[in-house]
Structure 1
Amino acid sequence: MDTISYKTLEDLGYDGYLLKDAPEKVIQFGEGNFMRAFVDNFFDRMNEKAGFNGKVVLVQPIPNGSFRLNDIINDQDGLYTLYLQGSQDGEAVREKRIISSVSRCLNAYEDWQEVLKTADSEDIRFITCNTTEAGIHYDPSCKLEDAPATSWPAKLTQYLYHRYQNGMPGFIILACELIDDNGKELEKCMMKHADDWNLPEEFKKWIQDENVFCSTLVDRIVTGYPRANADELNQENGYIDNAMDIGEIFGIWVIEGPQSIYDELPIKEADLPILVTDNHKPYKERKVRILNGAHTSMVLGAFLAGQDIVRDCMYDPTISAYMNEAIFNEIIPTLSLSKEDCVEFANAVSERFKNPYIDHSLLAIALNSTAKWKARVLPSLLGYVEKYGEIPKALATSLASYIAFYRGTELTEDGLKAINPVTKKEYLIKDDPEVLEFYAKNKDLDNAQLVDAVLGNTDFWGRDLCEIEGLQEYVTDALNLIDEEGTMEAMKKCLPAE
């Protein structure tokens, strides 16, 4: 079989949507699986449904390793197959699409002059980026004359300065890194580099006045290249695709920026799940507190009840009812967005957790649960107590399940060993060293003493949770119930009487 290309598809008689020739309107720093299953998919749909008629130039922003995705993408004419799959209305759904929005892929370290040359184009209007959470950071060692500079913000400063020197307008910059205020942080780093490099004041003013730095929230699980069944899919398609990509069918992109973005991107015309707003933070709060909070509040107790993957938990009547109690009656009432918006998102979360194509391991989600519980669950618990003056049963029980999960027997270099009370199998608790050392040190305390020590650990929570009236007593009772009858019974106790 030949590799996927326009010629190969023509020979196969492919009659689906393809955009072969169009001006390059977007430069994207980050060629990985997520961006190709998310951003480039959206541009492809805008091309098909709303006449955007634009191509995306990908840039690999880090040096080549042994795997050269840029070469693969170029060998395939920028084409790749995207599968989006999941659960909708209780049914398994699997969509296949050949993405033709990508024109080529450059490597910043081998093709830097070619990268800079794209800044000369009047057609390029948008910059998108996802250089991982560590990508947006200030590196004072970077120099203007580097070809290119090491850090992503320094590279972008070089790129924008090249554009500025040509007397051209700026860009709409859509940052997709998973950090708070990604667009604003990127701009801050760039301004520091402009100062370091003694660049003209007019350029610094141009950065701020002529460019729109958008902080965005991205939400889609992408599993990437399907190594397990790639050969089978290639046989089915009739071509070899070495850049094949797989993600869940759900996706939402919240962009903090001016409403004029709708005038430049045909988002509404293409009916895409993209929202432009003046404040993305309530939507991030909704995602973290509902989706991530549901994960963290449910998985530790479910694991101790003998479960292994998220999907199976959703079909257990007790665990799913407990999760819904936490989401709909304890988390949503504390959020700033409307109840209608939150309920719609929560229903989508339930469908996502049932995804028949993803075996999402509970132990994988349990990694670093101390920081996760603080960020994802504690704000909802505190909000509920402040609003109603009482302890939210499901969220407090999740704290008891967390403590039960972390009661290990032996601290090793790999983590803290513990025994699952239902399966009797050993599992490994993984967290920051100081967290594991705390639990190892306190493993012989009785439940009341352990709860007092955990809730009073201000290094964990940023405050003394023993000060919350009734919480210590409730968590201790729940932990006792877990020991005596298991986490399932503790979950049942949170549910309304029938």
Structure 2
Amino acid sequence: MKHKSVWMHIGAGSFHRAHQAWYLHRLIQQGDDSWYIALGNVRNDATPMLTELAKQHGEYVLETVSPEGERHYETITSIKKILPWDEKISALIEQGSQENTKVIAFTVTEAGYYLTPNHELDLTQPDIQADLAGQAITIYGALEKILTARVAKHGKPVTLLNCDNLRHNGERFRHGFLSFLRQKNNHDLSHWVEKNTTSPNTMVDRITPRPTPDVRERVKAATGIDDHVPVMGESFIQWVIEDDFINGRPKLEQVNVEMVDSVLPWEEAKIRILNASHSCIAWAGTLIGLNYIDESTVKEPIYQMAWRYVTDNVIPCLTPSPLDLANYRDVVLARFSNPYIKDTNQRVAADGLSKIPGFITPTLIECYQKGITPQATAILPALFFVFFERWAQGKLPYTYQDGVLDEALHKKMMLSPDALTQFITNPTLFGELAQSTDFQQLMIKTVADIKQWALNNH
């Protein structure tokens, strides 16, 4: 496979295997096998899955399910190489430095970029500090080592492709990475990155829950394949990419990837309508004792929270748009209502400390700029506050996962008598609104309303 081009992917989660790997598999199905994926991880949390995947030669079954309950099974064949993990990420470095590796893509979640609300690299984060001292815990530390080896070998250009739900994801990752290199005084690599890489913005979409044991059972019953690492997702899928690849790319337009000049309208609609509503539903559902997104979405008060947030505040902020935003809202809420996906509130409720500034605060700020009081949007951070308070009290029904959570610090804050004041005056979460009396009063009232609602409905 030496002559073939390699798409190296960092981030071996379910989403990559249900999304990017599926598109490259479709190309292979069409007879274009000029690209394949080499898959690895920066951290060792995916090692058991990668070990099983290696035993299956990178192949696995993807189960998709429509809102009507139609299930479809497909063996995905685009991952031809598994990059085993070690502390020195040596397999990633070796693959990334190969001349035929022409795209390095990654899914490390929103929190994995360690950005402040002003989109600057947060140098106070312990993981960033560790990488500045020479480790490779974050995408930045990993890429520094990979690209240093690449430059030493041949210095051929490479596209660095962000596939996460981060607004302006290519630009913001790139700014963070270059800031990291400058902070390390690695100016030679910084100059090389500026000249020899591109970072297109992308918008990715497919709801992909964490696989549960019953997926494996259904796959075996339907296909006869005893797949140890199957993955499942909804039937809906979308990928929009700015066509700015520096060293060639797969013919993604042949498999319905939208190659565009600017991803902005799609990205804003996705992040504000889909991602923010998803979190709203997960936090609200958890507060009234529900476990799944679909059962939470079909509860009328929760459906209304999400619907009003989009209708009253997001659509006015995003108009004019080339997309039919009202239709997009309805499609999204229908997808969330799919009873066959069984996406958990736990998965979607994660990373709230990054989602508030990333997905929600921009709408709050723009509403005030337009003279609109963002009552419908204020419900989202209010839900998270009550949810987060329960986390601090040990009253959540599951473990809360958050990439920027400082357990001791946040527990202390949320258990203090002035927890709400500290929360709503936090510029990391709310930017300029942290100093706004109007916003503070709106939040105090909204949090009280949510607490009452949760009490009445639990």
Establish whether TM, by shorter chain, passes 0.5.
yes
Shift of 1:309: 3.6
Q: 2: distance between equivalents of 1:382 and 1:390?
A: 10
Residues 28 and 57 of structure 1 are in contact (CA less than 8 Å); yes or no, is this contact kept in structure 2? yes
Please identify the structure whose Cα radius of gyration is greater: 1
> Among 253, 261, 269, which residue is 2:254 paired with?
269
Residue 391 of structure 1 aligns to a residue in which SS? Answer: coil
Question: Is 1:82 matched with 2:62?
Answer: yes
The corresponding residue for 1:446 is: none
Distance 1:361 1:334, change over 3 A: same
The corresponding residue for 1:98 is: 75
Residues 205 and 239 of structure 2 are in contact (CA less than 8 Å); yes or no, is this contact kept in structure 1? yes
Residues 391 and 470 of structure 1 are in contact (CA less than 8 Å); yes or no, is this contact kept in structure 2? no
1:3-402 map, 5 Å: 23-49=4-30, 51=32, 53-63=34-44, 67-87=47-67, 91-109=68-86, 118=95, 121-132=98-109, 133-134=111-112, 137=128, 139-142=131-134, 152-167=139-154, 169-177=156-164, 181-190=172-181, 195-196=185-186, 201=188, 204-256=190-242, 258=244, 264-272=249-257, 274-278=258-262, 280=263, 282-297=265-280, 309-317=292-300, 319-335=302-318, 338=321, 340-362=323-345, 376-387=359-370, 389-395=371-377
Counterpart code for 1:270: V
Counterpart code for 1:243: V
Deviations 1:334-355 (A, max 9, x none): 1266063433432331122112
Residue 71 of structure 1 aligns to a residue in which SS? Answer: helix
> Among 426, 434, 452, which residue is 1:463 paired with?
434
- Structure 2: any 5+ residue segments left out of the alignment? 115-127
Q: 2: distance between equivalents of 1:30 and 1:108?
A: 11
Report the structure, 1 or 2, having the larger helix content.
2
Shift of 1:81: 0.8
Distance 1:361 1:61, change over 3 A: closer
Distance 1:442 1:70, change over 3 A: closer
Residue 126 of structure 1 aligns to a residue in which SS? Answer: strand
Residue 269 of structure 1 aligns to a residue in which SS? Answer: helix
Residue 37 of structure 2 aligns to a residue in which SS? Answer: strand
TM-score by length of 2: 0.73
Greater relative contact order (CA < 8 Å, ≥ 6 in sequence): 2
- Structure 1: any 5+ residue segments left out of the alignment? 1-19, 144-148, 419-425, 444-449, 489-498
Residues 294 and 337 of structure 2 are in contact (CA less than 8 Å); yes or no, is this contact kept in structure 1? yes
Deviations 1:70-129 (A, max 9, x none): 432232222111112242xxx234332111111121225399776555457543321122
The corresponding residue for 2:392 is: 415
Residues 103 and 159 of structure 2 are in contact (CA less than 8 Å); yes or no, is this contact kept in structure 1? yes
Shift of 1:170: 1.1
Q: 2: distance between equivalents of 1:472 and 1:464?
A: 13
Residues 294 and 343 of structure 2 are in contact (CA less than 8 Å); yes or no, is this contact kept in structure 1? yes
TM-score by length of 1: 0.68
Percent identity over the alignment? 18
Number of aligned residue pairs: give it.
428
Residue 27 of structure 1 aligns to a residue in which SS? Answer: strand
Counterpart code for 1:346: R
Q: 2: distance between equivalents of 1:328 and 1:394?
A: 9
Shift of 1:305: 6.5
